[in-house]
Amino acid sequence: MNDVPQNIEEDGSGPLGLGMLGNVKVAMTVEVGRTQITLQDLLRLNEGSVVELDRMAGDPLDILVNGTPIAKGEVVVVGEKFGIRFGDIVDPKARFESV
């Protein structure tokens, strides 16, 4: 999973000319869904509890970088670990401007 995407050079320059900024680490999050519950319901949760989310099974997952949506994707299994396959990706220039 540590493969460098084809459109990004090993030195981090890539299509946007990021140069040394290409080595800056960001937090990537994959969001399955969301919900709102009361504190009372939160305190009642225990092992085996199920919380319904706002997504349908099979819907694409949101991929966020530092809280900014950059793509939709799906869960895959790579060996014994989970991974994410990118699908609908936000335009690279728009991603750069929003991150």
CATH number, domain with residue 59: 2.30.330.10
Q: Is residue 54 a part of any domain in this protein? A: yes
Backbone angles phi, psi at 35, to 5 degrees: -160, 165
Residues 6+ apart with CB under 8 A from 36: none
Assessment of whether the complete model's pTM goes beyond 0.85: no
Provide the H-helix boundaries in 21-76.
39-44
In total, how many domains does the chain have?
A: 1
Rg (CA), the chain: 17
Q: Is residue 64 a part of any domain in this protein? A: yes
Over residues 22-71, the pLDDT tens digits come to 888 999 999 999 999 999 999 999 999 999 999 998 899 999 988 888 99
Supply the range of the domain harboring residue 40: 27-98
